[in-house]
Every structure is written in structure tokens, then in C-alpha cells.
Amino acid sequence: MAIIDNNEPKKNHRKTRENRTNATFKLHNSEKLAIFAGDMKFERVINGKDHLWAVRDLTKPKNELAMLFDTWNDMEYLMQFFIDTFNDLKEHFHIERIRDAIEDTLDDAGELERLILDIPFTDNLDELFRPLGSADMVLTELTREKARNWERAGHASWLRVYAIRLEENVFVITGGAIKLTRTMQERPHTQEQLNKLNSCRQYFIDNGVFDTDSFISLTEEDEL
């Protein structure tokens, strides 16, 4: 099932959902549900608020969202990434200079971070996150979602933050990526993010999570 980043009108992006909580998505052999157990936990992104969470690998210094923005502000990382993906950059975005790609990424990362974390934007995350694909548009629970700077001037934003939506304005961040191709399956680093989304969603289903209260109960059990 190809995940295509459609630019559907914002006002319609949740209207067609039906009650299909138990919809399943194709799991790949590289997917391991164990990544959400043992050495993993869920962290509040903003202290004192229960609307935004992120997966945290306890072997790493920060949660997925924090590491994502660190990476997108790392000049050395961005240089190597765009060298490795230069053909995609030219083919899909018609950008010929890596320097321009790096500057665009730094600017876009700052704006996306503001849209996710700053008031009043963080109180209206449903305006920023949209269903990942057509299968998610017919769900009412545990939808896979993507966020980007939808209003970016010039070329479309290639930065993505991926999350599971628990209920209105409540999200669990699973990761993110620089997405230069049409579908997530076309490159290993975006396929990995799709695997993480599917794994996290399945983990929630297996552990009876379907809304914020059941998610909070799960996190409290993990702390016992």
C-alpha cells in the first residue's frame, strides 16, 4: 500500500472517516513490535500537558521529536543527507544546489517546531496533522498522521513529523523524516518511519489503547 503525500484541502481532511477502528496495515519483515517495549517509553513533549507525546528510546538522550529537530539543525548531517539524495532533490524539487536545500531545511525546521510546540498552535494540532493516507481517512481511532508546514512559500515542505492520533488534538509522535519522493516506500529512511508508525499503532491495539485515558493508563502501568 503506497503512502502518497496528497495535498488534500484542509477543510475536508477528516470528514469522510467512518468507525473502522480495527483496520490493519501491511507489516514489513523489518518491523519489530519489540521497539515499543522494554527499552522504550512514551514521554510528554510539554511538561504538564497530555496532548502531545513522543516515543523515547531509553538508550538515546532524547525523545523522537527532540532528536528530529536536532537532526534537522545539524549542518553536517544535512550536507551528507543531501549529497546522498541529490538525485531525488533535483528530480522532485528541481533544486540544483545543496546549500539551498540546507538553508530551506533550517528555515522550515524552525517554523515546523514553532507550529508544533508554541502557543496557540500547539493547542490546535488537528489543524497541522492530517491523515497519512486514504486508509486513515476512514478511521476514527488510532489514525496514522503526518505534519508539515503546509503554508510554506516556494516549493512544498519536505519535512515530515509522523504520529498516531489518539483523539481530538492528542498525538503520539513516532518519528519523522526528510521526504523527497512521492511515496514512503521508495527510500529506506522513510520506509523505516512507516514501519514505526504501523508498529506503534499495533502496539496500542494489542494493549487496549483507543483514546487518551487508555493511553495514560498504559503509561502509568509502565511506570509501576
Q: What is the DSSP string of the chain?
A: ---B-----GGGTTTT--S-TT---PPPTT--GGGGSSSEEEEESSTT-SSEEEEEETTSSS-HHHHHHHHHT-HHHHHHHHHHTHHHHHHHH----HHHHHHHHHHHHHHHHHHHHSTTGGGGGGGTEEESSGGGGG-SSSEEEEE--TT-SSSPP-EEEEEEEEETTEEEEEEEEE--SSBGGGSHHHHHHHHHHHHHHHHHHHTT--SHHHHHHHHHHHH-
Q: Is residue 56 part of a domain?
A: no
Mean pLDDT of 134-159: 93
Domain-embedded: residue 76:
yes
Q: What is the pTM of this model?
A: 0.85
Integer CA distances (angstroms), 38 to 30, 139, 157, in order: 18, 29, 35
**What whole-number percentage of the chain has pLDDT above 70?**
81
The whole-number pLDDT of residue 21 equals 39
Q: What is the pLDDT of residue 9?
A: 39
Determine, yes or no, domain membership for 27: no
pLDDT digits (tens, 9 = 90+) for 169-197: 999 999 999 999 999 999 999 999 999 99
Whether 151 maps to a domain, the answer reads yes
Q: What percent of the chain is modeled with pLDDT above 90? A: 72
Task: Say if residue 140's pLDDT is above 90.
Answer: no
Question: For residue 96, is it within any domain?
Answer: yes
Q: Is 2 within the bounds of a domain?
A: no
Please tell me the total count of domains within the chain.
Answer: 1
Q: Convert the pLDDT of each residue in 76-119 to its tens digit.
A: 999 999 999 999 999 999 999 999 999 999 999 999 999 999 98
Q: If you average pLDDT over residues 215-219, what whole number do you get?
A: 91
Domain membership flag for residue 4: no
pLDDT at residue 13 is higher than 70: no
Q: Evaluate if residue 11 carries a pLDDT over 60.
A: no
> Is pLDDT at 26 greater than 90 in this prediction?
no
Domain that residue 138 falls in: 62-223
Name the pLDDT band for 223 (thresholds 50, 70, 90).
low
Q: What's the CA gap between 60 and 48, in Å, rounded?
A: 23
In a domain, 93, yes or no: yes
Residue-level pLDDT at 40? 84
